[in-house]
């Protein structure tokens, strides 16, 4: 080696050291900024299936004095379809937006989450407007003010200007319209929680549990109009939403061995039987002996507004048994009989809004014409069939849009290549 080249190498040596140190620092910074969890790939059709079933159950539960209500889970345990819907919403939100946050960063993914919250807000206001018109028309046409009273819109009829403004603030909500405002608030608060979930999932879940405990202890809730508080306290129900998100980003895998334990299965079954025994006493006076006074003082009231611990535990028991016997690759997910529920679950926002309209229409027909069990069953089945038909139409339209966009992309590629696609 000549002297000149050796001297040049000596000059380059400090720069090489500096570059190597910078590279190591950059790699360390990248590792520090990288998420601590890896999101699963592929769509889990179980979520669509059970969300679709939950939408059917919510529709049925919204029709009072309906014999078909006896087939919904709320009559056989502490929880109902609302817990299923909120848990799956948290799971899917983390699955979709967590991937976006990993790939495109906090700002872009947060913008997408807020855009989704805005879409749901617009849907809620549209639903509110049409729902008010539907109830007011029925009450005026049939000269029955009880409809307005039962659906909690008397304030709207007396002071429509003030009520509409309160509805825009999500403080005024007619009966059966409490779920979407809850979902909106949960999405608005979700970006920082998702950021923490992707890096410190255990810490995020503990923080959510602390908020839940504080909300219960200090009775923290959002005021409603004209009085009271939100039916679904966001500071309490966020625990179920965050738990669903935690499961989506790896929590379900961590719990897999635990859920496969026979001890867990036995505890879940025993707790579900306990819930069944308690809830049956609400419907049959002859069974009140199943809940002695000391037990009633211990468990009552089982508060839905603040997501009572008994309700949360009941949902966990249902989920544990479901996950054990319905795995991700369950062949039944491909059965044709399952497709209607899956399609409804894939278009949950539209189907939920439709279900609110159909529930009031069913309530009106049953009360106005004194519908018996046969009429109640026919109305319930007709409503579910309408929901299925709507979801199928939306699925067909979405597939058509996808094929059209794919054809346009192929045409554009062919044009750029100088030939036909």
Q: Residue 229's beta-bridge partner residues? A: 223
Q: How high is the pLDDT of residue 36?
A: 57
pLDDT at 24 over 80: no
How confident is the model over 179-189, as a mean pLDDT? 97
Give the residue extent of every domain in the chain. Answer: 38-78+330-415, 81-243, 255-328
pLDDT at 331 over 90: yes
371-402 pLDDT, tens digit per residue, is 789 999 999 999 999 999 999 999 999 888 87
114-139 pLDDT, tens digit per residue, is 999 999 999 999 999 988 888 778 77
288-313 pLDDT, tens digit per residue, is 999 999 999 999 999 999 999 999 99
Question: Could you tell me what percent of the chain has a pLDDT over 90?
Answer: 68
Q: Mean pLDDT score of the chain, rounded to an integer?
A: 87
Question: Could you tell me what percent of the chain has a pLDDT over 70?
Answer: 83
pLDDT at 25 over 80: no
Q: Which residue has the higher pLDDT, 421 or 129?
A: 129
Q: Do the beta carbons of residue 313 and residue 25 sit within 8 Å?
A: no
pLDDT at 345 over 80: yes
Q: How high is the pLDDT of residue 23?
A: 45
Buried-exposed string 394-414: b where 16+ CB fall within 10 A, e elsewhere: bbeeeeeeeeeeeeeeeeeee
pLDDT at 195 over 60: yes
Q: How high is the pLDDT of residue 27?
A: 42
Q: How high is the pLDDT of residue 411?
A: 62
Q: How high is the pLDDT of residue 148?
A: 67
Q: What's the token pair of residue 329?
A: 């690759």
Q: How high is the pLDDT of residue 34?
A: 53
pLDDT band at 30 (very low <50, low <70, confident <90, very high): very low
pTM of the model: 0.87
Q: How high is the pLDDT of residue 32?
A: 41
How confident is the model over 204-228, as a mean pLDDT? 96
């Amino acid at each position: 080696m000549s002297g000149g080249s050796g001297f040049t190498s000596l000059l380059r040596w400090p720069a090489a050291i500096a570059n190597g140190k910078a590279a190591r620092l950059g790699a360390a910074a990248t590792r520090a900024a990288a998420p601590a969890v890896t999101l699963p790939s592929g769509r889990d059709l179980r979520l669509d299936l059970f969300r679709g079933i939950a939408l059917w159950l919510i529709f049925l539960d919204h029709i009072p004095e309906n014999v078909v209500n006896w087939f919904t889970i709320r009559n056989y345990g502490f929880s109902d379809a609302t817990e299923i819907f909120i848990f799956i919403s948290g799971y899917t939100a983390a699955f979709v937006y967590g991937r976006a946050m990993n790939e495109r960063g906090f700002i872009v993914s947060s913008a997408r989450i807020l855009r989704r919250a805005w879409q749901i807000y617009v849907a809620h206001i549209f639903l509110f407007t049409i729902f008010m018109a539907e109830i007011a028309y029925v009450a005026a046409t049939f000269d029955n003010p009880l409809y307005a009273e039962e659906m909690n819109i008397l304030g709207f009829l007396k002071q429509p200007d003030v009520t509409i403004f309160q509805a825009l603030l999500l403080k005024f909500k007619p009966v059966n319209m409490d779920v979407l405002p809850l979902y909106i608030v949960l999405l608005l608060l979700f970006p920082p929680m998702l950021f923490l979930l992707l890096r410190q999932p255990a810490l995020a879940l503990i923080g959510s549990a602390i908020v839940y405990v504080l909300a219960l202890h200090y009775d923290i809730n959002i005021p409603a109009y004209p009085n009271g508080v939100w039916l679904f306290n966001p500071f309490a129900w966020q625990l179920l939403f965050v738990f669903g998100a935690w499961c989506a980003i790896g929590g379900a895998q961590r719990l897999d061995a635990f859920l496969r334990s026979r001890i867990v299965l036995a505890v879940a079954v025993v707790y579900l039987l306990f819930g069944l025994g308690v809830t049956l006493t609400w419907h049959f006076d002859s069974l009140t002996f199943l809940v002695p006074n000391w037990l009633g003082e211990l468990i009552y009231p089982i508060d839905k507004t603040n997501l009572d611990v008994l309700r949360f535990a009941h949902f966990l028991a249902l989920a544990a048994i479901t996950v054990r016997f319905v795995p991700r690759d369950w062949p039944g997910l491909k059965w044709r009989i399952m497709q209607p529920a899956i399609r409804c679950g894939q278009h949950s926002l539209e189907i939920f809004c439709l279900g609110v309209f159909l529930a009031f229409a069913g309530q009106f027909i049953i009360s106005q014409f004194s519908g018996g069990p046969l009429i109640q069953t026919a109305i319930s089945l007709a409503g579910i069939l309408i929901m299925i038909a709507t979801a199928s139409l939306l699925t067909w339209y979405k597939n058509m849009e996808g094929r059209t966009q794919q054809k346009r992309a192929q045409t554009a590629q062919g044009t750029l290549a100088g030939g036909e696609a």
